[in-house]
Amino acid sequence: MPSTPTRRQPERAMTAKTNATQPFADRLDAAAESLPGGGRPWLDRLRAEARAVYRETGLPGPKVEAWKYTNLNRLRRTGFAADAAPAAKVDTVPVGNALSIAAHQAVLVNGRFRPELSSLPEAGDGVEVMRFADALAREPSLLESRFGRIAPPAGMPLVALNTALATDGLVIRFRKGKTAEMPVHIVSIGAAAGEPVMFQPRLLVIVEEDAGGCILESHIGTGDGIYFSNGVAEIAVERGAMLRHYKLQNEHPSAFHLATAKAELAERAHYESFVLQVGGRLARNEIHAHIGGRRVECRLAGAYLLRGEQHVDNTTFIDHAAPESVSRELYKGVLDGTARGVFQGKILVRRDAQKTDGHQLNKALLLSRGAEIDSKPELEIYADDVKCSHGATAGELDDDALFYLQSRGIDEDTARGLLVDAFVGEAIEQIAHEASRTAFRQVVEGWLAEGRSKNQRDGDSEA
Amino acid sequence: MAATAKTIEQVKSIGGKYKFGFVTDIDLDFAPKGLSEDIVRFISAKKDEPEWLLEWRLKAYGHWLEMPEPKWAKVSFPPIDYQDSFYYAAPKSKDDAPKSLADIDPKLLETYAKLGIPLQEQEILAGVAVDAVFDSVSVATTYKGKLEEKGIIFCSISEAVREHPELVRKYLGSVVPYGDNKHACLNSAVYTDGSFVYIPKGVRCPMELSTYFRINAENTGQFERTLIIADEGSYVSYLEGCTAPMRDENQLHAAVVELIALDDAEIKYSTVQNWYPGDEEGKGGIYNFVTKRGACRGRNSKISWTQVETGSAITWKYPSCILEGDNSVGEFYSVAITNNRQQADTGTKMIHLGKNTRSTIIAKGIAAGRSDSTYRGQVKILPKAEGARNYTQCDSLLIGGDCGAHTVPYIESRNPSARVEHEATTSKIGEDQLFYCRQRGLSDEEAVALIVNGFCREVLQQLPMEFAVEAQKLVGISLEGSVG
């Protein structure tokens, strides 16, 4: 975790040589001219810092401890088009890939907001959704105190890259004391046809004091080209506020998806995150939750269902910097084909965070020969009056359970499906918002059905 | 019995020299301070080594020059000035040694008394320059006779190079290659001595083998090299170190231990490490940078590591098992206690290559004072390790609000039929537990010692009996001053 300031200052983000050949470094200056809000000193300074950080470190290599298991060489080798203009035309939101749920909808295509595809909340809904440029004009101080402050570029090369290049983004604000009834659903569509494209979705969420709300993200793709989505989300959950934040990563099978979310949790804040990753060729979702006030409740859950040659990484970091808080984490992975899953979860309990109660669990199911799971749960604890634990398991389906089902007349494929479903179900159960839970369950069922029909096809061709 | 006679003779001749101005004699044995190719050649020449071994040392030295220091461990210390130490004989020079127990730090003596160590043994441990060395050698050599009857070879590694070159050449560096890591490189280049054990086919070693007597007799220190080979169907239990603290001013200890278990063989290796930890403010103390690794080469072989780590300013140590043979078993039981300013980064690696290989890891870390204790371990299941099993449990206990306890496991599985389970917890000693003990008349310190002993029980009971009793006392002693 390069950005973790611990007492001993472990490994700094590797001292990579300042190197002009770093991918994307050549486009930093050109982009600087055209970004919205240029001329504001704080924003110019922030972007200059971001460019400097990225120039110095570039894409993290495998020698950086936090990237030990996820190698970005494939991304490094791909040449991306200079401009993020959509290469594939998108006139409607493709159905079937995104979460299906009744919600306010904000649609981004290749990182750019598309008002004609969106249906934003109205005044009185308790939540506002603004385009980055509009927010900058209407509420400059709101952005100045948050944007690039919750997720500063220092030590985080991908955040730096996003900060230096993001041309658009969304600002979502839940108003003080109000609970928004309807969730906000952000649909980010990657659309590439010929040349590979890259884009930098950017999100800032502010949940004001005692407010409550739910945000869903669907990351999907259309067209046949390769694209690279490098998203950053900054989240502030203020005193006594509650945020449910659910994400579906269902990118195109050839896509690169790297995303970093940083959440600042104030006193009595409640943050609930769920991430389901099923798509992408190479994907990593990184969540940093900073517990800055007493009696915070932070729940992170997720599932990753992979097949083929997918490589998907879930990295989480919970930083207990204040006492009496609770964190819970549960991730479940199912790996088929020659897929590779990575889970890295760290809990840091700082000196003052007495009475912390932290628990983390990662379980992975390997369904086939050739699949691989790399798991690195980590505890770093400097306070003595705490209760922290973590667990990790890896294995195949329980033979006894399989036998039990078969002995009751259920065929092997169905039995396997049931067991996998139950295995993933435990993670899905963590989603407190009912309609969202149903939407995610549908995606899981779709994934399982795809596997069954694939098995059938394989079986037919063997016979 | 040739070897025995020779040892006795050697010691006698040294003993004789002691009486007649040994200082000058030992002076001759000094290598100049610092490290260079010449020093490596000097050491090799002093030991009359064959050409192949010198070449091996030189290759290691060449590697060492280029290799970076391992930086990933969670320990911090100023850079080591390798040119500022002696690499041959010097550190334990007899003229620096205290002349009697009166010259020893009273705190050290207090500890000996608490462990119930006889006076004469205390003198040996504290390094008092007396002829007592002779006694322990004769004890060691009596055992040696018994062992030789069974065909067991137990001698110094230098002696093994002379007497059994074929075995040493075959196995030395086969588990820990000279280029493994910077500390192992240094050891390979400059090791002065260490132990060699060979247990022949089908032999069950009738007693626990121990370096304790050997080290005192042969004055090896900083750079030990241990090589243990258990041939088919054999069994050996090996003890390293002793429970009493060693008065030793050497800064850097870079030892290498290699274990090889062939078909159906079993090696049990127990360590109680209690080197000088430095004072309360973290001044002085040993850097214990040790590379220990065992290879389960044969089918149904087993290697079991048990360690109780209470000493040293910094511990950097990962006794590991490479489970090559089908059905082979690796075990790691560890207690690491840190107090004051100590830092320990320790754990294990279990590399599963063969079918149905099994490993168990039980690690208990106790941190008190302003110390840091880290468990760092890797479990790796390779694609061919059909049906492999691992169970890992790491528990940490924090005593006081200024220490740190960390757990950094790496779990990598590439076989679906393998089952890997890892659990870790961190907690403190419950107020109610302490209250219960105090209510029954135990002092705070006794209560903590009792509770911590309970916490470590799973590991301590793996130790050979006589060791376990002392280790239990040691647990209490290491935590003195951490409560109240």
Which pLDDT tens digit goes with each residue over B405-427? 999 999 999 999 999 999 999 98
User: Residue B69: helix, strand or coil by DSSP?
Assistant: coil
| Element holding A158 (H helix, E strand) | helix A157-165
Beta carbons of B261 and B302 less than 8 angstroms apart: yes
Best A366, A367, A399, A400 residue to mutate vs chain B (most B CBs within 10 Å)? A366
* Range A146-174 average pLDDT: 95
Q: What percent of chain B has pLDDT over 70?
A: 76
- Nearest-CA residue of chain A relative to B385? A369
* Cross-chain CB nearest to B399 (options A374, A384, A387): A384
Q: Which string of DSSP letters, residue by residue, matches B166-205?
A: HHHHHHTTSSS-TTSSHHHHHHHHH--B-EEEEE-TT-B-
Give yes or no for B415 touching A (CB within 8 A). Answer: yes
Distance in Å, alpha carbon of B234 to nearest chain A alpha carbon: 33
Domain ranges of chain A: 25-399
Optimal mutation site among B375, B391, B414, interface A, most CBs of chain A within 10 A: B414
The answer to whether residue B69 neighbours chain A at the CB level (below 8 Å) is: no
For B413, the closest of A7, A388, A394 (CB atoms) is A394
Contacts of B175 (CB under 8 A, 6+ apart): B258, B259, B260, B293, B294, B295, B322
Separation CA A301–CA B483 (nearest Å): 39
Domain ranges of chain B: 2-317
- Per-residue pLDDT 10s for chain B (484 aa) are 344 444 344 434 433 332 222 222 333 455 677 788 988 998 898 888 999 999 999 999 999 999 998 888 888 888 888 887 777 654 344 455 556 666 666 666 666 666 666 655 566 555 543 333 333 343 455 567 778 889 999 888 888 999 999 999 999 999 999 999 999 999 999 988 788 999 999 999 988 887 654 443 334 457 889 999 999 999 999 988 665 566 555 578 889 999 999 999 999 999 988 887 887 887 778 888 999 999 999 999 999 999 999 888 899 999 999 999 999 999 999 999 999 899 999 999 999 999 999 999 999 999 999 999 999 999 999 999 999 999 999 999 999 888 999 999 999 999 999 999 999 999 888 889 999 999 999 998 889 989 999 999 999 888 887 678 778 888 888 887 776 5
- Among residues A140, A142, A162, which one has the least CA distance to residue A153? A162
- Mutation choice for A interface testing from B355, B378, B413 by most A CBs within 10 A: B413
**Whole-number pLDDT of residue B440:** 94
**Integer Cα distance of B177 and B193 in angstroms:** 17
Residues of A in contact with B412 (CB under 8 A): 372-375
pLDDT at site A62: 87
Is the CB of A377 less than 8 angstroms away from the CB of B409? yes
Task: Pull the structure tokens for residue A102.
Answer: 């009744």
Q: Which of 373-402 (B) contact A at CB < 8 A?
A: 381, 383, 396, 398-402
Best B371, B407, B428, B451 member to test A by mutation, with max A CBs in 10 Å, is B407
Contact A111, A230 (CB under 8 A): no
Strand A340-349 relative to strand A372-381, pairing: parallel
Residue A196, CA distances (Å) to A81, A226, A254, A411, B377 in order = 6, 5, 10, 44, 40
**Residue B300 C-alpha, separation from nearest chain A C-alpha, in angstroms:** 23
> What one-character DSSP code corresponds to residue A282?
E
Bridge partner list, A64? none
A415 CA to chain B: closest CA distance, Å? 18
The count of other CB atoms within 10 Å of the CB of residue A33 is: 7
CA distance B417 to chain A (A): 6
Q: Where are the beta strands (DSSP E) in B200-265?
A: 209-210, 225-230, 235-240, 252-253, 256-261
Question: Which residue carries 């579906």 as its tokens?
Answer: A248
How many Cβ atoms are within 10 Å of B103's Cβ, its own excluded?
10
Provide, as residue numbers in chain B, all residues whose Cβ is less than 8 Å from the Cβ of A313: none
Length of chain B: 484
Asked whether B1 and B9 are in contact (CB, 8 A), the reply is no
ipTM above 0.85, yes or no: yes
List, in sequence order, every residue forming a beta bridge with B396; answer none if it has no partner. Answer: B365, B426
Find the helix or strand (DSSP H, E) in which B460 lies: helix B444-460
Q: How confident is the model at residue A439 (pLDDT cuts 50, 70, 90)?
A: very high
**Continuous segment of H or E residues that includes residue A379:** strand A372-381
CB contact under 8 A, B424 and A377: yes
A-B interface: how many C-beta pairs under 8 angstroms?
Answer: 124
Q: What DSSP character marks residue B262?
A: -
- Chain-centre distance of CA A241, in angstroms? 21
Instruction: Among A364, A376, A382, select the one facing B410 at the smallest CB separation.
Output: A376
Q: Does B447 touch chain A (CB under 8 A)?
A: no
When scoring A379, A398, A402, A416 by the number of chain B Cβ atoms within 10 A, the one with the most, hence best to mutate, is A379
For residue B371, the distance in angstroms to the closest alpha carbon of chain A comes to: 10
A36 to chain B, closest Cα gap in Å: 41
Strand (E) positions, A321-356?
326-335, 340-349
Q: Who contacts A84 (Cβ-Cβ below 8 Å, separation ≥6)?
A: A110, A111, A112, A167, A197, A198, A199, A200
Which of B372, B406, B419 faces A379 most closely, judged by CB atoms? Answer: B406
The answer to whether A79 touches A49, Cβ cutoff 8 Å, is: no
The label of the residue with tokens 């005193």 reads A239
Is residue B406 less than 8 Å (CB to CB) from chain A? yes
The length of chain A in residues reads: 463
Cα–Cα dist A413/A398, whole Å: 14
Contact A256, A75 (CB under 8 A): yes
CA distance B102 to chain A (A): 40
A384, A387, A396 member nearest B400 (Cβ): A384
CB atoms within 10 A of CB B421: 17
Helices (H), B84-175: 106-115, 119-126, 132-149, 157-163, 165-171
Q: Can you read off the two tokens belonging to residue A295? A: 């009696």
Asked if B430 reaches chain A (Cβ–Cβ under 8 Å), the answer is: no
Give the residue numbers in A contacting B (CB under 8 Å), as ranges.
7-8, 10-11, 65, 351, 354, 364, 366-396
Q: How many CB atoms lie within 10 A of CB A453?
A: 10
For residue A384, the chain B residues in CB contact (below 8 A) are: 398-401, 403, 428
Q: How many CB atoms lie within 10 A of CB A91?
A: 8
B68 touching chain A per CB within 8 A: no
**Among B444, B446, B372, residue whose Cα is nearest residue B408:** B372
Task: Provide the token pair at B67.
Answer: 């290799």
Collapsed DSSP state (helix, strand, coil) of residue A455: helix
